[in-house]
Amino acid sequence: MLTFNQSRRLAETLARLDGLTDWERRPRGSMLVGLDSMYDLMQRLENPHKGVRAIHVAGTKGKGSVCALLEVALLRAGYRAGRYSSPHVERVSERVSILGQPCGEGELADALTRVLDAYETSKHDGTPGAAATWFDVLTAAAFLMFREADLDWVVVEVGLGGRLDSTNVVYGEVAIVTNIELEHAEILGASREAIAREKVGILKPGATLVTTLATDDEAGRVLQEQADELGCPALRTNLGPDARIADRNAELAAVALDHLGRQGVFALSKSAAKVPLGAWLLDDATQTKARLPGRLECFNIRGLNEPLSASRTVPVVLDGAHIPFNLAAVLCDLTLRPDLNGRCVAVVALAADKDALGFLSVLTDYVSTTIFTELPVSGRGWPAANLNVLATSLGMTSEVESDSELALMRAVRLASETATWLLVTGSLHLVGALRRIISAG
C-alpha cells in the first residue's frame, strides 16, 4: 500500500511538472513538435531508452489496447515487460506499467524528479532540453523506470503522430500502425496520406512494420512506400471490414508476436519454455487481463424508476471514443450485445479540436437522449451549449448540464425510467472524471 508521504511527494512533483507546457490540456493549434528536447534529456540521463527491446505502436485508435495485449502476452511468455501509454483515465501512474501493474507513486516521483532536475540543468546550460514539455518529461521518466526495473521488453504507445513524438527516441523492433483516420489535422496534416507519413515515422531500418492497412488504401500505400525505402518487411492483418474492435486489436498483436517467434524469440516460462512467441499467447485469459479502463468498459449501476420506491439496474458503457469512425465502430460492437436494448441515453463531452458534427451525426442513430456536459479540463472542450445547438440541427433530443456529475445523475434517471442503457463517451477525460462514481455504483 502506498504511504501518505509517497502520495504527497508525487503530488508535489506533479505540481512541479505542471509548470511545463502540457499539450493534453491546451488547444493544440500552436503546438510545436520535435525530438531535440528528448534527445538532450535522454543523454543527460545516460540514455535509459537504450538496452531494452521494444515494440512501438502508433495509429489513430486502438494503439493502447494493442499495447496492453502485447504486454500481457510477453509477461505470460516469462519476460520482464513494461508498457508506456497515454492518456491515463484516473491516475497518472496508469501510464507506466511495470510487470503488469501501474508503477509505484514513490518510484514515479523519484523518476520525475531526476528528469526535472535534468530539465533545469538544460535550462541553465541553454541546450534543447530547456524546451521540454510535460509529455517529454513523463516519457523520459518512464524510460528511467524501465531501466531501474531491469525489463526485457517494453511496449511503447505513441502520444501524437509518430515521427516527432516524444516516444520516437526508442528503437522498436516491431513498429505497429493500427489504423489512420483524420485527427489532429492541424499538426499532422489534412489528409490520411499526410497523417500516414507522420505515423510511419516510428519505423526504423531493421524493424518490421505491422498494420491493418492494405496497399490499395491511400494511407496504406504511404506506409508500404516508407517500408520499401527503408528495406523493412511489412506484415498485415487479414480481417474483414466488419470485424469487431477487439478482434482487430488481437489480430495486430498476433501478427507481431508471430513475427517475433519466427525471429527466434522464445517463451521463457516453465510451462512453455523454448516455444516461439506467437498468437497462442493471446487466449481468452490474456485478452481479459489486457482490458483497459474506459475502452468498451461495462458496469451495472442502480437507477431509479417512477415511483422512486422502485429501482432497476442500468447497464453503463464507458468508452473514450472521440472521432466519428471510432465511435461508429464502438456503437456497432455494442449493438451485438443482447443486454443493451434499444437506443441509449448518452453523456457526451468533446475536446474543441474534435469533429463535433461528424461525431454527433454518428451518435444520432443510436441515442434517445444526449446530455452534453463540459470537460473537466478547463478551456479544452466544446462548450456544451454549442454541442446542443449542433444536436438540435440534426434533430436529436438533447439537454445541457455543465456539471458532469449532475449530467451523469440525470442520465441514469432517464435510462432507468425508459429501461434502456447509458453510454459515457467523447473523451477519456470525461470517462476518468465519472468512472470512480460509476464503478462504486
Q: Would you put residue 439 in left (φ > 0), alpha (ψ -120 to 50) or beta?
A: alpha
pLDDT given for residue 6 in this prediction = 56
What's the one-letter identity of residue 333?
A: D
pLDDT given for residue 111 in this prediction = 98
**Whether residue 421 has pLDDT greater than 70:** yes
Residue 436: all three cell numbers together: 470512480
**Whether residue 380 has pLDDT greater than 90:** no
pLDDT given for residue 2 in this prediction = 43
Cell 520499401 sits at which residue? 228
pLDDT given for residue 92 in this prediction = 94
Peptide bond between residue 48 and the one before it cis (omega within 30 degrees of 0): no
- In angstroms, what CA-CA distances link 37 with 54, 189, 365? 21, 23, 46
How confident is the model over 30-56, as a mean pLDDT?
90
Give the DSSP letter string of 342-393: SSEEEEE--BTTS-HHHHHHHHTTTEEEEEE---SSTTSB--HHHHHHHHHH
Runs of H (alpha helix) within 149-302: 185-188, 192-199, 218-230, 245-262, 284-289
The rounded distance, in Å, linking the Cα atoms of 425 and 322 is: 7
pLDDT given for residue 308 in this prediction = 42
pLDDT band for 306, please (50, 70, 90 cuts). very low
pLDDT: is 246 or 270 the higher one? 246
End-to-end Cα separation, the chain, in angstroms: 24
**Whether residue 304 has pLDDT greater than 60:** no
Dihedral of CA atoms 342, 343, 347, 353 in degrees, nearest 10, equals 130
How confident is the model over 337-362, as a mean pLDDT?
93
Q: Which residues contact 124 (CB under 8 A, 6 or more apart)?
A: none
pLDDT band for 104, please (50, 70, 90 cuts). very high
- The helix or strand, by DSSP H or E, that contains position 337, with its residue range, turns out to be none
The rounded distance, in Å, linking the Cα atoms of 389 and 98 is: 45
Instruction: Decide if 91 contacts 11 (C-beta within 8 A).
Output: no
Pick from 8-22, 56-70, 302-316, 425-439: least confident: 302-316
DSSP state of 55: E
Instruction: Decide if 59 contacts 199 (C-beta within 8 A).
Output: yes
**Whether residue 307 has pLDDT greater than 50:** no
**Whether residue 182 has pLDDT greater than 80:** no
pLDDT given for residue 240 in this prediction = 82
| Single pTM value for the model | 0.91
Instruction: Decide if 400 contacts 302 (C-beta within 8 A).
Output: no
The rounded distance, in Å, linking the Cα atoms of 352 and 312 is: 36
pLDDT: is 271 or 53 the higher one? 53
The rounded distance, in Å, linking the Cα atoms of 317 and 420 is: 12
Peptide bond between residue 87 and the one before it cis (omega within 30 degrees of 0): yes
**Whether residue 138 has pLDDT greater than 60:** yes
pLDDT band for 270, please (50, 70, 90 cuts). confident
How confident is the model over 164-183, as a mean pLDDT?
93
What mean pLDDT value characterizes the chain? 91
Give the pLDDT confidence of 334-347 residue by residue, as tens digits: 999 988 988 999 99
Instruction: Decide if 266 contacts 273 (C-beta within 8 A).
Output: yes
For the chain, count helices (H), then strands (E). 15, 14
Residue whose C-alpha is closest to residue 396's, from 360, 431, 350, 428: 360
pLDDT given for residue 29 in this prediction = 47
Which residues in 395-413 are b (16+ Cβ under 10 Å) and which e? ebebbbbeebeebbbbbbb
**Whether residue 77 has pLDDT greater than 80:** yes
**Whether residue 199 has pLDDT greater than 70:** yes
The rounded distance, in Å, linking the Cα atoms of 349 and 215 is: 36
How confident is the model over 280-289, as a mean pLDDT?
96
Instruction: Decide if 116 contacts 109 (C-beta within 8 A).
Output: no
pLDDT: is 411 or 31 the higher one? 411
pLDDT given for residue 28 in this prediction = 45
Instruction: Decide if 233 contacts 207 (C-beta within 8 A).
Output: no
Residue whose C-alpha is closest to residue 87's, from 287, 286, 246, 292: 292
pLDDT given for residue 8 in this prediction = 85
Phi, psi (deg, nearest 5) at residue 424? -110, 120
**Whether residue 119 has pLDDT greater than 80:** yes
Phi, psi (deg, nearest 5) at residue 28? -100, 10
**Structural domains in the chain plus CATH codes:** 4-289 (3.40.1190.10), 297-439 (3.90.190.20)
